[in-house]
Structure formats: C-alpha cells, structure tokens
Homo-oligomer: A and B are copies of this chain.
Amino acid sequence: MRLNNVEIEETFAEAFSMKCARVLITALNKRWVKVAAAEATGFGTSIIGCPSEAGIEKYLDPEETPDGRFGAYIQIYHGKTEKLEEQILDRIGQCVLTAPTTAVFNGLPDAEKQSNIGFKLKFFGDGFDEKKEIGGRTVYSVPMMEGDFIIEENIGIVDGVAGGNFFIMAKDQMSALNAAEVAVDVISDVEGCITPFPGGIVASGSKVGSNKYKFLKASTNEKFCPTLKDKVKDSQVPDGINGIYEIVINGMNVDSIKEAMRKGITAATKVPGVVKISAGNYGGKLGKYKIDLKDLF
C-alpha cells in the first residue's frame, strides 16, 4: 500500500497492557502549565530504565477546566498499580505542587479505580489545609508560600496501552527527523495518548534482550540500523535509506493509539525525503495488541 507516494509496509505494531493515570494540571497561563507538566513527566520515556513512563497528552482551554484556567492532561504509566500510585504521588508532590500557580484535578473522574493522591498530599499543609469544592469537585486547599495550592481528592487509574509505534524511513537522517517532528506535532492534539520519548521521538529503536550480552534487557535493533546495513545478515534497511526514527505511543485505550498512528503517519508521508513507513513487533508473541498499518487507512 502507498500513501502520498510513500510505501506503507504490510506489518503491524505490537502493544502492551500498562496501568495508566491521567492528571489534569491547571496554572496561571499556558507557559506555566507547560513548565509544570514537563517537569512532572520528565525522566519518563521507558519503564526499562525510568521509574514510570509519562507524557503530556494535550493542552486545555480555560473553558475546559474546572477552575477556568489553562490546563493540560498528563499521563503516567506503570505495570503495577501500587508502583503507579507511588509515582503519581511523587511526580505531583515534587513537580506540580512545587510549581508556581498550579492546581491539580482528576483527569479520569469516571474511572472505576480511584487513588486518593490528593488526600495524601494535603498533609503537606501540616494541618492548615481545608476541604472545599471547585467546579463540583472535592478538593483540598493547602497554604503555601506563594498562596494556596488546590488539589482534587482522587486521581483515576485505568487499564492503558503502551508501545504503539511506527517507523519513519527516509533518504537521509534530516528528512526522517523532520518527518518525525511533524508526526509528533500532529499526534500532540489527539485525545487520550502520549508520545513518552524525548520530543516524542525515539532515535534508538531497540529489540528485546541482546544477541551477545545476557545481562541486557534491550539492545539496538541492528536490522534497522542504516550504518549496519552491510554488516548484518537480513538487514531490513531498504536501499537508499539513511535515517530511521520510531514514534512510540501510549494511550488510555487502543483507539486513541490508532488515531495517533493514522494522523502521524499521514503527516510524515508529506515530508520530502520520506520513503517508507514500517512498525515494530515481536511476531505477535509478547503484546496483547496488534495494530495493522493497513487497517489504519
């Protein structure tokens, strides 16, 4: 199949189950929403070496938030609910409560599983906190040096999906990079999902484990390395391809990942120099979800 003159490989992306929390951060203006959200979701690319996976889902206009200020949804992922709850507590407590002018609301008020993060964080007020209601939500108001910090009692957690992905292959590294940037820009407006890697892009697509070192959880995907094309057997780097980037997408559900893949791939194929789109999988053996590229269009 071809899209905008770019080959879409007949393959599928393989994705996994992970627990997902969604937090709504508001602040004085867009800039401070962004600063707090970036700090809270930093060091959160892959569970292989980060304490959790995390990212900014989307920005919200004042008319979409409980306190009528600018906001953003962030998402935090972990395999285990308990560990995820620790991560929410630490990331919100250290990176949002501490940030100028922020407030924190539940991003999944209708989820079955609710974690009382706000209740736990209000103890920071050392007894001076007050229970209130804002926009129909139960919140705590915690006195601080800047003024009062507002945090909702609960944060919802759902069964999410991690590891949705596609590969962008281009004539050269710069074309691949620009296409990857455009794909991430487009995905940033899709509701329900995040691209947890730096700037949304993975430069170092990996395989599970290692051929040579038993102690490694993951290592370079040598069959997709342009500079190894002539050094490895069965290289999957087509002739004329000199740069490949992977976009990894986590989502609250598989539909949001599909929508992100569809929009991201479409945008990438419009960038000059892009030759082929592929995706990463493990033969369907590891992940719960298989997303066929051709089914997206």
Contacts and interface: CB of A to CB of B under 8 A. Distances in A.
Interface of A: 28-30, 32, 35-36, 38-46, 48-51, 54, 61-63, 67-70, 89-91, 93-102, 123-128, 142-149, 167, 170-182, 185-186, 189, 197-199, 201-206, 210-213, 216, 218-222, 224-228, 231-232, 242-246, 263, 266-267, 270-273
Given A32-B199, A126-B219, A211-B127, A146 B244 contact: yes
Nearest to A244: B145
Copies of the chain in the assembly = 4
Nearest to A200: B35
Contacts of A177: 28, 100-101, 146, 174, 178
A213 B178 CA distance: 37
A181 B29 contact: yes
A28 to B, nearest CB: 6
A213 B49 CA distance: 33
Contact of A221 (B36, B98, B145, B267): B145
A272 B226 CA distance: 14
Given A28-B271, A147-B173, A43 B45 contact: no
Contacts of A48: 94
A99 to B, nearest CB: 4
B171 A220 contact: no
14 contacts: A32-B199, A43-B54, A49-B93, A50-B95, A99-B201, A99-B203, A100-B199, A100-B203, A123-B219, A125-B219, A143-B220, A145-B224, A146-B203, A177-B178
